[in-house]
Amino acid sequence: MPQLERPGVSLYYEDHRPSSPASDVPILLIAPGGMRSTVDFWQHAPWNPVTHLSERYRVIAMDQRNAGSSVADVHGTDGWSSWTTDQLAVLDHLGVDEFAVLGMCIGGSYIASLLATAPQRIRAAVTLQPIGRDGNQERFDGMVDDWAAELAPAHPEATEADWAGLRTNLFGGGGVLFSVPDEALAHVTTPWLVLMGGDEAHPESASRRLAELAPGVTLVERWKAPEYVEAGRRAVDGFLAEHL
């Protein structure tokens, strides 16, 4: 089981390499699942990009910190940048400079942070039903609190103030995607395909706002209902083929 060991964090990752990749640019996958984002969550998506995309591209997937087989110390100063640092560290460890990234759910917020931090390294981005702010603050606060309650016994280093600080740093500020201010999205010119959300945690309004703010965004409105799943997958395939 591949693990990247860094000070205070152990990260599980997978590196899938086809024999004849369609591009030299690998794809980083960031799974759904909220704070419990793990590779296994892709099995519950409308289609599994780990198996689908790894037929043609090098695909790198990972469990995010304190989810699945990835473990990290908890500090009240942690925030989106902590996860971004992890993701880039895995890529650096594997010798990857330029990459594409595909994420679902909370993956949209992680992608926004990556684009703000290392835009020069990202060839293209795909987000499926990004989480977003739209009168749903209690839902995200509760998500962090439930996750923290589950993890707390294994983290004696973390005080109640640390958990509260982490929750505030993740969901107490930022813009529509939480991880970056809306103004930062206006500077994103990276090609970015967004498959629209449509429920409380992944509001349609957040996807539309992202499309309004980021010049590089192409918005796909229908993709998740059974009759549109194949068309949505083709849209992703075509987008990646064009930009990779």
pLDDT at residue 173, as a whole number: 86
Distance CA 18, CA 83 (A): 27
pLDDT at residue 187, as a whole number: 94
What integer is the mean pLDDT of 136-158? Answer: 96
Distance CA 6, CA 201 (A): 32
- pLDDT at position 1 over 80: no
pLDDT per residue as tens digits for the range 184-227: 999 999 999 999 999 999 999 999 999 999 999 999 999 999 99
Tokens at 93, concatenated: 């460890």
pLDDT at residue 208, as a whole number: 98
Pairing status of strand 99-104 against strand 3-6: unpaired
> H or E element: which one contains 193?
strand 192-195
CATH T-level fold of 3-239: Rossmann fold (3.40.50)
Closest of 19, 161, 5, 162 to residue 72, by C-alpha: 5
Q: For the chain, give every domain's residue range.
A: 3-239
Alpha carbon distances (Å) from 173 to 91, 122, 178:
28, 25, 6
Average pLDDT across the chain, whole number: 97
Q: Is the dihedral of CA 224, 130, 185, 62 positive or negative?
A: negative
pLDDT per residue as tens digits for the range 65-106: 999 999 999 999 999 999 999 999 999 999 999 999 999 999
pLDDT at residue 96, as a whole number: 98
pLDDT per residue as tens digits for the range 15-44: 999 999 999 999 999 999 999 999 999 999
- pLDDT at position 166 over 80: yes
- pLDDT at position 174 over 90: no
Beta bridge partners of 188: none
Q: For residue 205, what are the contacts with CB-CB under 8 A and spacing of at least 6? A: 132, 134, 176
Whole-number percent of the chain with pLDDT over 90: 99
What integer is the mean pLDDT of 166-188? Answer: 95
